[in-house]
Structure 1
Amino acid sequence: MILRNYPFQWIFMIIFLALCLYLKIKLNYLEESNRVLQEAITLIRNQPKSNALSAIEIHRDNHLDDSIVIYNRVPKTGSTSFVGIAYDLCKQNKYHALHINVTNNMHTLTLPNQVQFVNNVTQWDVMKPAFYHGHMAFLDFGKFGVKQNPLYINLLRKPLDRFISYYYFLRYGDNFRPHLIRKKHGDTKTFDECIKVGQADCDPDNMWLQIPFLCGHDPQCWIAGNKWALEEAKRNLEKHYLLVGVTEELAEFVQTLEIVLPRFFKGAYDHFLHSNKSHLRQTTQKMDPLPETVEKIEKSTVWKMENELYLYALSHFHAVKKRLLNPSMQDGNQRFMYEKIRPK
């Protein structure tokens, strides 16, 4: 009866009740959404921080698909054995392996060829990831203004051992290509006899090779006995090389690379141990020098400088190897994460 007499009041009451119902439903929805959001935040905060690395690792792996590794291999340091592993793994690890073949086995490039080489390597995307190798001196990509620098690796050998191996290699060849006639074929003088008569090809200055290979393309690098070249080779080892190993510890070099750069070397250590790659190339005939020959060689300036670089590289490699292959508890549990990121 009252509602019939006051139709406007009746309509107003219906609208008011509907609005109250709507607000109640909306409030319940907001409370539920807030609860779910808080639970999600709590779950993220309570996750182990190491899980946060998964996204970083995914990004890292994707980034490594564009990686370039350059192994500017020094002759007679076991490089053929190591390169054989890289070629065996390239298909299963999905990268390209390419040999750098320079005219007349020259170890340095002219400046125009340096520019072209740097541009080829960095812009040849269809070849990435890529493993380049060749008997070529270190080349600093940074000075050419490119955005991508390669990962350099190398192997060094005790300088006198490398020198003697090369001496006999030029005369007798090796078991890798046994029928190939070498440059000094027919010369049967032993290394001791060569030193005694002062023959040119056993002059200690000819040991000057590992230093210039790490020093680079500067003409000063190739002047035997140049102190600046030695220091530059050390600087490049520290600044530009991912890893420099030694021939005498080739297995550990391969093992370390597998840990440091699994994108390329996954499975390399096992392959090295259970294949013929560890003894792929050996000089056919070689004689150890007499003590008086060694004493004479070790008095030379070039041997002292080459040996200084070798020992420097050996010490650096041992420091890296110790933390990876025989880690302390602190090193073994080491992780990294990002905090205090601003702005929020």
Structure 2
Amino acid sequence: MYKKAFAVVTVFLIFILRRSTLSGYHHNEGRSFHPKNVVQQNATTTKRLNSPAEGTAPKFVASNALHPRVLVYNRVPKCGSSTMIGTLLELSKLNGFTHLHSSNYNNIWMNRTMLEYMTTGWLEVSKSMRFSFDRHLLFFEVQRFKEGEVAWMNLIREPVERFVSKYYYTQQYQGTTKVRSLEDCLGDADRSQCLPDNINIVLSQITYFCGREPLCMVFGDKWGLQKAKANVEAFFSVVGILEDLPTTFQVLQNVLPDFFTNYEFTFHGTGRIVENRRSEKFRQPISNATKMFLKDYLREEIEFYEYIKRRLYVQAKMITSAADDAY
């Protein structure tokens, strides 16, 4: 049985890591800075320390996927994915599931044929094991599975902080010996030079939740914002925030117990962050004026972040209330 499962996982991984590189979404270069101008390890040997009860659904769980066979983490860049992936890898050993990691970091948009291949692979693997899967990937509605067999989760970050972090992260990989400060770059008349190509995918956390529709690719679009919120409510069991990992993991443990039970026994479950310090030496502080400018520029992103934060804290409050009622 294990040999067969291993063979299926191997074939699936080869597909994910090789075939999926054939498809990607590409934007034209040279856009204006303002958003209105943008056209827009198999773990089978370790016993669980605390086994979640099967078939029980706490009242605070809106999703039907309490015990999913597949957990999809469509990770957003520069939002603590190293921390979350490390946690999932540790928990796979404690809780007896498998974590599949995709090293494809560039092609987040996949055509329907590629999505069909990928979900077919998920279905085959899920027949022999419960697993989690991570990749930079736009949300899409999963077909072929029964209701409750697939759950989505994610982790996002305060938008201004993420913007600054992403800028210096990009700067360090441009091959220059001297990194230009964000403050100076934003002072230019042509502020588009402060942004890498593919403006909306790099900047927008909303895009990862909105999905594949054309308006999801328009940075700052109001419809895209509302669509992202609707998808979160309908399909995402938990979306955490990097600024509050303890609450994020508390909710994950209660809403997705098959995957996140025992998180307190992991290094990452303590709330510590695996920081990418490679760009920190280049980073410079920004002025209040620049911060206010970015808050206005990222206003839809900030609205989405605040919505996610409220939703997370409502989930946490309901978990605490349910625990109090049990006593």
Q: How does the TM-score come out when normalised to structure 2? A: 0.72
Change in Cα spacing, 1:218 to 1:274, as seen in structure 2 (3 Å) is: closer
Aligned to 2:145: 146
Report which stretch shifted further, 150-159 or 219-228: 219-228
How far the C-alpha of 1:64 sits from its partner, in A, is 7.3
Aligned to 2:312: 317
**Structure 1 CA distance, aligned partners of 2:316 and 2:248?**
8
Aligned to 2:213: 218
Query: Is the counterpart of residue 308 in structure 1 residue 303 in structure 2?
Result: yes
Does the 8 Å CA contact 1:245/1:313 hold for their aligned counterparts?
A: yes
Report which stretch shifted further, 207-216 or 193-202: 193-202
**Structure 2 CA distance, aligned partners of 1:80 and 1:134?**
12
Aligned to 1:132: 133
**Structure 1 CA distance, aligned partners of 2:270 and 2:260?**
15
- Secondary structure in 2 matching 1:137: coil
Which AA in structure 2 matches 1:202? C
How far the C-alpha of 1:200 sits from its partner, in A, is 2.4
Does the 8 Å CA contact 2:123/2:144 hold for their aligned counterparts?
A: no
Does the 8 Å CA contact 1:64/1:129 hold for their aligned counterparts?
A: no
Change in Cα spacing, 1:132 to 1:192, as seen in structure 2 (3 Å) is: same
Which AA in structure 1 matches 2:72? I
Which AA in structure 1 matches 2:164? I
Does the 8 Å CA contact 1:89/1:268 hold for their aligned counterparts?
A: yes
Q: CA RMSD in A?
A: 2.8
Aligned to 1:243: 238
Does the 8 Å CA contact 1:106/1:136 hold for their aligned counterparts?
A: yes
Which AA in structure 1 matches 2:121? N
Which AA in structure 1 matches 2:81? S
Change in Cα spacing, 1:276 to 1:154, as seen in structure 2 (3 Å) is: closer
Which AA in structure 2 matches 1:310? Y
Change in Cα spacing, 1:184 to 1:110, as seen in structure 2 (3 Å) is: farther
How far the C-alpha of 1:251 sits from its partner, in A, is 2.2
- Secondary structure in 2 matching 1:306: helix
Which AA in structure 1 matches 2:181? T
Does the 8 Å CA contact 1:107/1:136 hold for their aligned counterparts?
A: yes
Q: Where do residues 1-344 of structure 1 align in structure 2 (5 Å cutoff)? A: 57-59=53-55, 67-102=69-104, 105-125=106-126, 128-141=129-142, 144-148=143-147, 149-172=149-172, 182-183=173-174, 185-197=176-188, 198-203=190-195, 206=200, 208-272=203-267, 278-282=273-277, 283-285=279-281, 286-300=283-297, 303-324=298-319, 327-328=320-321, 332-333=324-325
How far the C-alpha of 1:259 sits from its partner, in A, is 2.3
Report which stretch shifted further, 262-271 or 67-76: 262-271
- Secondary structure in 1 matching 2:266: helix
Larger radius of gyration: 1
Does the 8 Å CA contact 1:251/1:272 hold for their aligned counterparts?
A: no
How far the C-alpha of 1:185 sits from its partner, in A, is 4.1
How far the C-alpha of 1:219 sits from its partner, in A, is 2.4
Aligned to 1:40: none
Which AA in structure 2 matches 1:94? G
Aligned to 1:29: none
Query: Which 5+ residue runs of structure 2 have no aligned equivalent?
Result: 1-51, 58-64
How far the C-alpha of 1:284 sits from its partner, in A, is 2.6
**Structure 2 CA distance, aligned partners of 1:277 and 1:127?**
33
**Structure 1 CA distance, aligned partners of 2:193 and 2:115?**
30
Which AA in structure 1 matches 2:229? K
Paired residues in the alignment total: 262
Which digits, 9 at most, give the CA deviation of each residue in 1:222-274, with x for residues without a partner?
A: 11122111110000111100001111001221122122222111221342467
Which AA in structure 1 matches 2:246? A
Does the 8 Å CA contact 1:68/1:132 hold for their aligned counterparts?
A: yes
**Structure 1 CA distance, aligned partners of 2:299 and 2:269?**
37
Does the 8 Å CA contact 2:87/2:269 hold for their aligned counterparts?
A: no
Change in Cα spacing, 1:298 to 1:64, as seen in structure 2 (3 Å) is: closer
- Secondary structure in 2 matching 1:128: coil
Which AA in structure 2 matches 1:164? V
Query: Which 5+ residue runs of structure 1 have no aligned equivalent?
Result: 1-55, 173-181, 336-344
Which AA in structure 1 matches 2:192? A
- Secondary structure in 2 matching 1:98: strand
Which AA in structure 1 matches 2:300? M
**Structure 1 CA distance, aligned partners of 2:314 and 2:219?**
29
Change in Cα spacing, 1:117 to 1:273, as seen in structure 2 (3 Å) is: closer
How far the C-alpha of 1:58 sits from its partner, in A, is 4.1
**Structure 1 CA distance, aligned partners of 2:269 and 2:314?**
27
Change in Cα spacing, 1:236 to 1:277, as seen in structure 2 (3 Å) is: same
Does the 8 Å CA contact 2:67/2:257 hold for their aligned counterparts?
A: no
